[in-house]
Amino acid sequence: MSSSGNPSSSGGGGGPCGACKFLRRKCVAGCIFAPYFDSEQGAAHFAAVHKVFGASNVSKLLLHIPEHKRPDAVVSICFEAQARLRDPIYGCVSHIVSLQQQVVSLQTELSYLQAHLATLELPQPMAPVSSSGSLQALSITDLPTISPSLYDLSSFFEPVMSSTWAMQQQPRPSDHVFGVPSSSSIIGGGGELQALAREFIQGGQMPAQPSLGTGGSASTVIKRE
Amino acid sequence: MNPKRCAACKYLRRRCPKDCIFAPYFPPNDPAKFACIHRIYGAGNVSKMLQQLPDQTRAEAVESLCFEAKCRVDDPVYGCVGIIHLLQTQIQNAQNELAKTQAEVAVAQTKLSQTQNSDF
């Protein structure tokens, strides 16, 4: 994607933007794609966007979005397009389902652990310990470095999905796909969305496709907080 | 006009042929589904995508396309990437909570064993 975000980079003396280069058309001044698709890597990214969404649909979409939000929109559109080309059946939905399963797994694990904690804290045969008593209550800050083995409570519970943690250990890909600008002025939100998009574009975590079942409503998959 | 046109052909105001690629997935009783997908992807792009897929995978593909289109309509800036981001945040929060609870369990176990030792 273009790194400048400068409207003057569109058309004119700067040559065609990546989108117009791909479409083999004249890049006019004020081209809506020019700030986001530079003439080098932008053409490849636009190719994916065009194949999945179509140039006119993306243009209409961008026109309805405030200008300061368009860089983020382009990043997410490129991400979805790339995901769809990589997985023509599920696109990025497979990843959503996988993440949701991770959330459920973690919450299950957390519930087990909280229940276990409750059983540990329940029996209190002795009188409550006051702060001035001889027995001082331990707090986390009093502990020395806890050895990793103490975190392995899997023997207390049913075998927990180890893939939950294994998936977090995957190496992070390098971030040179989009020609990311050095400043974060184009992409809002501190670059988190961009980092996320870079990971997936590099083929980070796209697991096996589960069945979606019926209904494609977003509300049936996720509850927004 | 054929009253049994699929939702796609009804929307596009065209005849629905017997081998219409949309007909199995866009029944006439749910016009909003095709309208949403057409708005984001366009009928031509969806048709091309479906043609490149084996028959048995097309239903799932349509559902995922509908889902993504719905996400994009609901959130034009982030689409379903916003959901991915939200889920990753939830995962991070859950992992932090898990680590905190594991530490609390460790503290409670230590406390319990110390109590038991002092009993003896």
Answer yes or no: is pLDDT of A111 > 60: yes
pLDDT band at A126 (very low <50, low <70, confident <90, very high): low
Q: To the nearest whole angstrom, how far is the Cα of A107 from the nearest Cα of chain B?
A: 7
A-chain residues near B24 (CB < 8 A): none
Nearest by CB to residue A196, choosing from B60, B63, B84, is B84
Tell the residue number behind the tokens 């490129």, with chain if given.
A78
CA pair distance A10, A21, nearest whole angstrom: 12
- Mean pLDDT (chain A) is 68
Q: Which of A87-96, A154-163, A182-191, A205-214 shows the highest mean pLDDT?
A: A87-96
Quote the pLDDT of residue A13.
56
Nearest chain A residue to B38, by CA: A57
Sign for the CA dihedral angle at B22, A76, A175, A9 comes to positive
The residue of B105, B110, B113 whose CB has the most chain A CBs within 10 angstroms, and thus the best one to mutate to test that interface, is B105
Answer yes or no: is pLDDT of A100 > 70: yes
Quote the pLDDT of residue A199.
59
Nearest chain B residue to A150, by CA: B106
CA pair distance A127, B35, nearest whole angstrom: 68
Q: Quick check: A138 and B72 CB within 8 A?
A: no
A6-15, A46-55, A85-94: range with lowest mean pLDDT: A6-15
Q: What are phi and psi of B68, to 5 degrees?
A: -65, -40
List the one residue out of A113, A117, A109 whose CA is nearest residue A164.
A109
A9-23, A209-223, B33-47, B62-76: range with lowest mean pLDDT: A209-223
Q: 3-class SS at B71?
A: helix
Give, for all 120 residues of chain B, the pLDDT tens digit.
Answer: 456 899 999 999 999 999 999 999 999 999 999 999 999 999 999 999 999 999 999 999 999 999 999 999 999 999 999 999 999 999 999 999 999 999 999 999 998 888 888 866
Q: To the nearest whole angstrom, how far is the Cα of A27 from the nearest Cα of chain B?
A: 23
Answer yes or no: is pLDDT of A185 > 70: no
Q: To the nearest whole angstrom, how far is the Cα of A109 from the nearest Cα of chain B?
A: 8
The residue of B41, B68, B114 whose CB has the most chain A CBs within 10 angstroms, and thus the best one to mutate to test that interface, is B68
Q: Quick check: B84 and A96 CB within 8 A?
A: yes
B-chain residues near A218 (CB < 8 A): 67, 70-71, 74, 80, 83
Q: 3-class SS at B45?
A: helix
